[in-house]
Amino acid sequence: MIAVLVKKEDQVVVREFFELFKTPWEFYRDDSAAEVVICSRTDVPKTNAKLVLIYDGEINSFDRANEIQIRPQGSKKTLLYHGAPVPIYGNRLTFGVVAGQSLVDERSHEAAMLETNLSRQTFIRIGYDLFQEIRQLLTVGQPVDRAQIPALEIHIALLRDLIVGRSIPLVEIPPVPEGHNFIACLTHDVDHVGIRNHKFDHTMFGFLYRATIGSVIDVCKGKKTVKQLAANWKAALSLPFVHMGLAKDLWYQFDHYVEIEKGLASTFFLIPEKGKAGRDADGRCPAKRAASYDVAELGENLKQLAVTGHEVGVHGIEAWRDAAAGREERERISSLINKSDIGVRMHWLFFDEQSSAKLESAGFSYDSTIGYNETVGYRAGTGQVFKPLQTVKMLELPMHVMDTALFFPSHLNLSSKQADDVVRPLIENAISFGGVLTVSWHDRSIASERLWGDFYIHLLEQFKSRGAWITNAMRTVSWFRKRRSATFERVASGDGSVKIKTSDDSDDGLPGLRVRIFKPNQTAARFVEMPFKNGMEICVAA
């Protein structure tokens, strides 16, 4: 058991942290029998705990009492944990050069962690405030230059290592569905539906330029093949016939996605109102943000998506800044699909620190806006679904990989091979840390002039070969709700065994959970793992 002592304002962060690091814990009590005590921005209590972890980015009473030499380093710096970068957004301290330290300053290589043994207890001083870092990640998020670092997952890994490395048993329900290595969530932002809706506007002229001159440039740069060039020129020449109704619409891709995904479940986020641009953060209404299709005309498409196991959500316009507008947007899509439990992703990823509460007030089950327009990676530092600190029930499904971020000239502007090199580490992280890798592929991206369908198919093949559970947004969120509902009723250690009793009454057809037990003094394997069963009790020899 872990006992946590923090200031009252940090308790909400602690609760969410231990939903992500799903292991037994409690808030510190004077009579606590926990083997591990975590202190953050507080005095160290008198305790018999075997291990006391002191997280703080400021000099505290423990430092002064033990005459620890402190070197303040300011904020927004990077540490290295076993060589892996760990961005620290709050204040940070180091303790001079200490041989053999695994957590050090990136530049000076001074230790950011110091171990002291006093009266058969181990005290480890860590030079930053863990829960302030978690707050920063779950509210403000990471800047673009740190996007590829799963910072929150590294904080969990460090804490786990500190506990297990001191011969203390640890029980955990990892964010990995039974029978799989990670979750791959497939989503599609539906911005256009058909090019027939665009006549002599910026979208049509942009298509013609990119399909003709732009494709020639892409071939010269190695970003497109001659075959793709020919396909785009053919598409450009067919445009008049599309508008006359004599040729199939180039951007009508619902059926094509169903065919490509071959029975896999994905989510289509639909813009709820035609011609409405909505306001941006500066109060402006950019006309090009408005949709040119009417979702009410897609009734048969929506029925077919439901039959093939796909999900429909809201691609919100005003919901991020206005709860009443959000309710209208939700109800408009909800009435079309006859389903009230739906999620949202904001168009253009508009969001601020108050948006989560507004989206929950609008009645959305989950949001999937937290991500980047200009790059790929971990805006919130995690591959896990989490509960924003401002909400009661609504969860956030972070978005990690968007097609336009990979391939737009104004963003990463990558070739297919370069994109593969960028996405592959995210897949490796998902396998290493667990959680979900959420992909957003726009409705028109597998059509001319983009022709990004081959890379999307490549992604699906990668997910299958790496053991992913491939599913849609709602089922991903539902699995994480299932994990969050599991509770530890009793944990005991000290008699050469680890015992745990859990309870979870859900039986919803989703993949099961796992129970992972890290055993002290284990040499053959770092942990043992077994499927979770409702009400199970485990006894594993240490």
Number of other residues whose CB lies within 10 A of the CB of residue 407? 22
Under CATH, which number does the domain 2-172 receive? 3.40.50.880
Give the tens place of pLDDT for each residue, 208-247. Answer: 999 999 999 999 999 999 999 999 999 999 999 999 999 9
**Angstrom distance (rounded) from CA 486 to CA 280:** 40
Residues 6+ apart with CB under 8 A from 359: 316, 319, 320, 323, 326, 344, 367, 394
Confidence of residue 507 (pLDDT cuts 50, 70, 90): low
Among 100-104, 351-355, 438-442, the range scoring the smallest mean pLDDT is 100-104
Strand partners, 487: 503
φ/ψ (deg, to 5) at 355: -65, -40
Task: Give residue 505's pLDDT.
Answer: 60
Task: Give residue 344's pLDDT.
Answer: 98
Residues carrying CATH 3.20.20.370, the chain: 183-194+251-480
Its pTM surpasses 0.85:
yes
3-state secondary structure of 111: strand
User: Could you tell me if 396 and 371 are in contact, meaning their C-beta atoms sit under 8 angstroms apart?
Assistant: no
Work out the average pLDDT over 334-352. 95
User: Could you tell me if 61 and 36 are in contact, meaning their C-beta atoms sit under 8 angstroms apart?
Assistant: no
Confidence of residue 32 (pLDDT cuts 50, 70, 90): confident
**Angstrom distance (rounded) from CA 4 to CA 26:** 6
What share of the chain in percent tops pLDDT 70? 95
Confidence of residue 532 (pLDDT cuts 50, 70, 90): confident
Residue 107 has pLDDT above 70, yes or no: yes
Which of 380, 423, 425, 387 lies closest to 403, judged by CA? Answer: 423
3-state secondary structure of 131: helix
**Angstrom distance (rounded) from CA 279 to CA 283:** 5
Task: Give residue 488's pLDDT.
Answer: 83
Residue 378 has pLDDT above 60, yes or no: yes
Confidence of residue 412 (pLDDT cuts 50, 70, 90): very high
Which of 397, 419, 396, 425 lies closest to 185, judged by CA? Answer: 397
φ/ψ (deg, to 5) at 265: -90, 135
- The DSSP code for 24 is -
Name the CA radius of gyration of the chain, rounded.
Answer: 25
Confidence of residue 499 (pLDDT cuts 50, 70, 90): low
**Angstrom distance (rounded) from CA 89 to CA 87:** 6
State the maximum Cα–Cα separation within the chain, in Å, rounded to a whole number. 85
- The DSSP code for 410 is T
Residues carrying CATH 3.40.50.880, the chain: 2-172
3-state secondary structure of 220: helix
User: Could you tell me if 517 and 538 are in contact, meaning their C-beta atoms sit under 8 angstroms apart?
Assistant: yes
Number of other residues whose CB lies within 10 A of the CB of residue 524? 6
Give the tens place of pLDDT for each residue, 61-89. Answer: 999 999 898 987 777 889 999 999 999 99
- The DSSP code for 153 is H
What share of the chain in percent tops pLDDT 90? 80
Give the tens place of pLDDT for each residue, 161-210. Answer: 999 988 888 999 999 999 999 999 999 999 999 999 999 999 999 999 99
Which of 379, 445, 430, 420 lies closest to 174, judged by CA? Answer: 430
φ/ψ (deg, to 5) at 351: -170, 150
- The DSSP code for 363 is T
Task: Give residue 503's pLDDT.
Answer: 65
Locus of tokens 């590294």: 154
Residues 6+ apart with CB under 8 A from 213: none
Residue 540 has pLDDT above 60, yes or no: no
DSSP per-residue codes, 477-537: HHHHHHHHH-EEEEEEESSSEEEEEEE----SSS---EEEEE-TT--S-SEEEEE--TT-E
Give the tens place of pLDDT for each residue, 284-316. Answer: 999 999 999 999 999 888 988 988 889 999 999
Locus of tokens 């071959």: 262
Q: What rounded mean pLDDT belongs to the chain?
A: 92
Residues 6+ apart with CB under 8 A from 540: 497, 498, 517, 519, 528
Domain 183-194+251-480 listed as CATH 3.40.1010.20 = no
Task: Give residue 169's pLDDT.
Answer: 87
**Angstrom distance (rounded) from CA 407 to CA 238:** 24
3-state DSSP of 263-310: CCCCEEEECCCECCCCCCCCCCCCHHHCECCCHHHHHHHHHHHHHCCC
Look up residue 266 and give its two tokens.
């994905």
Residue 521 has pLDDT above 70, yes or no: no
**Angstrom distance (rounded) from CA 50 to CA 56:** 20
Locus of tokens 């890798």: 437
Which of 347, 338, 273 lies closest to 306, judged by CA? Answer: 338
Task: Give residue 75's pLDDT.
Answer: 78
**Angstrom distance (rounded) from CA 203 to CA 290:** 11
Q: Tell me how many degrees the CA angle 31-35-37 measures, rounded to the nearest 5.
A: 75
Residue 541 has pLDDT above 60, yes or no: no
Task: Give residue 54's pLDDT.
Answer: 97
Which of 258, 270, 367 lies closest to 310, judged by CA? Answer: 258
Locus of tokens 């001079």: 96
Residue that wins the pLDDT comparison between 313 and 508? 313
- Amino acid residing at 254: F
Terminal-residue alpha carbon distance, the chain: 16
Task: Give residue 105's pLDDT.
Answer: 93
Task: Give residue 76's pLDDT.
Answer: 82
Strand partners, 128: 92
Residue 388 has pLDDT above 60, yes or no: yes
Confidence of residue 144 (pLDDT cuts 50, 70, 90): very high
